[in-house]
Amino acid sequence: MMRTFLVLMDSVGCGGAPDAAAFGDEGANTLGHIAAECAAGRADLGRAGPLRMPNLDALGLGAAMRLASGQAAPRLEAVPKGRWGAATEVSMGKDTPSGHWELAGVPVPWDWTYFPDTVPAFPPDLVAEVCRLAGVGGILGNCHASGTAIIDLFGAAHMRTGWPICYTSADSVFQIAAHEEVFGLERLVKLCADLAPTLHAMKVGRAIARPFVGSEGDFHRTGNRRDFAIAPPAPTLLDWVADAGRATHAVGKIGDIFSGRGIGRLWKGKDDAALFEHLLTLADVAEEGSLTFANFVEFDSNFGHRRDVAGYARQLEWFDRRVGAFLARMRAGDLVIFTADHGNDPTWRGTEHTRERVPVVCAGVGAGEIGFCGFVDVAASVAAHLGVPAQGSGRSFL
């Protein structure tokens, strides 16, 4: 019996989405533009020279980018030894749940609710509900913002008043930042959990607890983030595998994104380095016939939204080095798929996700071009490899 590891490099898009212009993202290319900046010597902070990702490039990462966008990059020119292609999303969003659910076989069937980029951003009745649940007289923020910038702006006022900092983005989210010691971590998590049903009824995708610590001038977020996501509208790949009696493992924020459905065991960690240690462990201990679904979020959260090209490049190169150790632990018959859920081009205007195709590169199933595929084809391919019934519309590319 075979195992599958589905590994999400959060936001590592490769350009070329056919509907990018509708999202204001025509020309965005996360991987391609990072590689170009590195080759031009404009991403040498903490690293130097062209982008180096030899392990993933050997599987077809550079080839997938060239297919998706027509853009080539120095040092991403290997002749692929794996299966490779580029996937296109059909859900009308460039957010985390849309990308993950569709990769798991379930496109989003509704339009998400997005909050306007105004001040205030939230309707009065929603603000009143937050205040009631939190037992406070008001909120801070009430706007679109970067999660790191807003705690610098309102952190001191939050510590004086005890009011939660509420903000959103171009995604369908309601985020609440609060100090772990002054406001309390458990209180923050409970507030988001209690508010989530109201948001989900509005078709807002996630309530997100964003705890931070520190003092004025030195606030920083912790690894205790919690996402309370609306449940997928139909059984996903995780359900298909679990219903077939197989083991399922969720690494990182997968458990939150899928509301715990179809997940046998959660593997959490304070950062991507800790999560990769879990992935290495699972390479050794995951059961025959099992699915491991992992998300590595720091490409997106630490570097994409912050438009930090050098930091994103460092993270890509670190990840690729760890991939080498991971692949060395694979067993005969294992399938590993590396892909992404959307883009977040750090050279792009603004601070939000970008609509892009995503690379799909596979180890363990020989070499060859997949070509263009759909996000849902990833789920169908995993199901085919594991020998479990697929319930979605995708077709296996294996």
Residue list for the binding site: 10, 300, 305, 341-342, 353
In DSSP terms, 337 is beta-bridged to 6, 362
| Main-chain phi, psi angles of 226, to 5 degrees | -135, 130
* Closest to 274 measured CA to CA, from 228, 321, 309, 322: 322
| Rounded distance between C-alpha atoms, residue 104 and residue 232, angstroms | 10
251 sits in which H/E element: strand 248-251
How many angstroms from the chain centroid is the CA of residue 358?
A: 12
- Residues annotated in a binding site for Mn(2+): 10, 300, 305, 341-342, 353
Q: What b/e readout covers 53-82, taking b as 16+ CB neighbours within 10 angstroms?
A: bebbbbbbbbbbbbbbbebebebbebebeb
Stated length of the chain: 398
Query: What span, in angstroms and rounded, lies between the C-alpha atoms of 158 and 155?
Result: 5
d(CA 351, CA 263): 32
> What percentage of the chain's residues is helix, strand, coil (to nearest 5)?
35, 20, 45
Structure-token pair, residue 97: 């749940």
d(CA 368, CA 85): 9
Q: Which residues lie below 8 Å from residue 133, measured CB to CB, with a gap of 6+? A: 191, 194, 195
